[in-house]
Amino acid sequence: MSERLIVVSSDCHAGLRIADYKPYVETKYHEIMDQSVPLQMEMTEKAEESFLMKEINDEWRAPIEQELKGAWDYKERLKMLSNDGIAAEVIFPDGITEMNTPPFGAGLGLSPRAAVPELQWAGAMAHNRWLAEFCANDLSRHIGVASIPLLWDVQQAVDAVRWCVDNGLSSVMIPTMWDEHAPYHDRKYDPFWEVCEDLGVIIHFHSGPAPQPEYFGTNWPMEDRSDDLPGAMGVYVSEVMWWLYRPLTFMIWGGVFERYPKLKVVMTEGGTAFMLPPWLRLLDHNYTDIQFSAKLGDFRSHLSMAPTEYFARNIAIGASCVPRQDIELHSVLGEDKLMWGSDYPHPEGTWPNTAQYFKDTFSGLSETVGRKILGENAVEWYGLDRARLQEVADEIGPDLSIFK
């Protein structure tokens, strides 16, 4: 039998339909959940109509309805992974696509905007309970990313991280945007960074959140203002990646990685080709080229390394939906940085055409580099059981012909 490749998807999504989270929500919140779910469903459906072009999404979904149930059905999940040749996956919460977001705004966006702190925490922990149960089917293959609404209460977040680790979850997602709350260079968050470093918990930021009211109107999605706000979606897609990078700008300059040198962070689905190299050049420019200007004060003596050195040591890239031009950036970013992702079950991802994507995208690429991007980098970064994943890959993984 020809050698099979270990493939790890750094970006997959899973979650129950909103109402189905009820058994995982504390009983004291059941009544308010019953009241809020219909409203959340209505808002989600409205958002789908304007944000995803419902007709196009429905057409894509129609022939694969059963397979899409893998977003919450474990048996279908295994079929999807097998068909895609994926030995292991990193699982984020979901949002609009399959209407399977956690309640109370605790899903992929995890925004503090208009959220009730107690309820958002209730929704997040409901998802985390379900996710821990889902991943427990095979912890070597399913790396669950817990939802942590850090902004409201740092100690509660610390306690939640400990709960996650005790229940098999060693990755977390925190808000990309903080609105009026303290940003991530504030020392108040040090206990959170510390517990993540101590317990080996990897922090994640996932693209998607942005100041949508600025683009689509303050009453979006309930009010459609596309006629008097032309180009709103163009503005959103042009800016959304910037909001993903912004937390890391604060953490790097704030000395988070100086104080916690073993802390690991992943930025996922971040449009690597368009913004990442210029952003890194900007950070290093501001570290090396303008410090002589006395009027700016001393903003770097608390750092022992340049920003790109912290990036190289502490940050990895979940490069989902990645085209060949982004893969070629391995020569700029370092071939140990990029980790491929399928983005299942989102229509912009590679599923259900992943096998053809591998052939089209990795053809002619160095086998050494391809192995790293497709799986070996993730195995190293997440500390996965390589021997176990090779056993899985020997059954389902793609072979070396994808590089020819």
The set of residues, in sequence order, having a beta carbon less than 8 Å from that of 312 and lying 6+ positions away, is 334, 337
Residue 293 confidence (pLDDT): 60
User: Which CATH number does the domain housing residue 211 bear?
Assistant: 3.20.20.140
Cα(296)–Cα(363) distance, rounded to whole angstroms? 49
Indicate the burial class of 11 (C-beta count within 10 angstroms; 0-12, 13-18, 19 or more): buried
Mean pLDDT, range 172-177, rounded to an integer? 98
- The pTM of the full predicted model, rounded to 2 decimals, is 0.96
Residue 219 in domain? yes
The set of residues, in sequence order, having a beta carbon less than 8 Å from that of 179 and lying 6+ positions away, is 111, 112, 113
Choose from 33-42, 264-273, 389-398 the range with maximum mean pLDDT: 389-398
Cis peptide leading into residue 112 (ω within 30°): no
Cα(359)–Cα(375) distance, rounded to whole angstroms? 16
Residue 83 in domain? yes
Residue 292 confidence (pLDDT): 62
Name the pairing type of β-strands 265-268 and 202-206.
parallel
Asked if 91 and 82 touch (Cβ cutoff 8 Å), the reply is no
Query: What are the C-alpha distances in Å from 372 to residues 202, 340, 362?
Result: 19, 9, 12
- Give 40's pLDDT tier (boundaries 50, 70, 90): confident
Domain count, the chain: 1
Residue 2 in domain? no
CB atoms under 10 Å from CB of 265, counted, come to 22
3-state secondary structure of 339: strand
Residue 1 in domain? no
Residue 3 in domain? no
Give 374's DSSP letter: I
Residue 85 in domain? yes
* Structure tokens given for 342: 């399928």
Residue 175 in domain? yes
Read off the pLDDT of residues 101-146 as tens digits, 9 standing for 90 and up. Answer: 999 999 999 999 989 999 999 999 999 999 999 999 999 999 999 9
Cα(161)–Cα(154) distance, rounded to whole angstroms? 11
Residue 64 in domain? yes
Domain residue limits at 294: 8-403
Asked if 51 and 38 touch (Cβ cutoff 8 Å), the reply is no
Read off the pLDDT of residues 289-307 as tens digits, 9 standing for 90 and up. Answer: 876 666 788 899 999 999 9
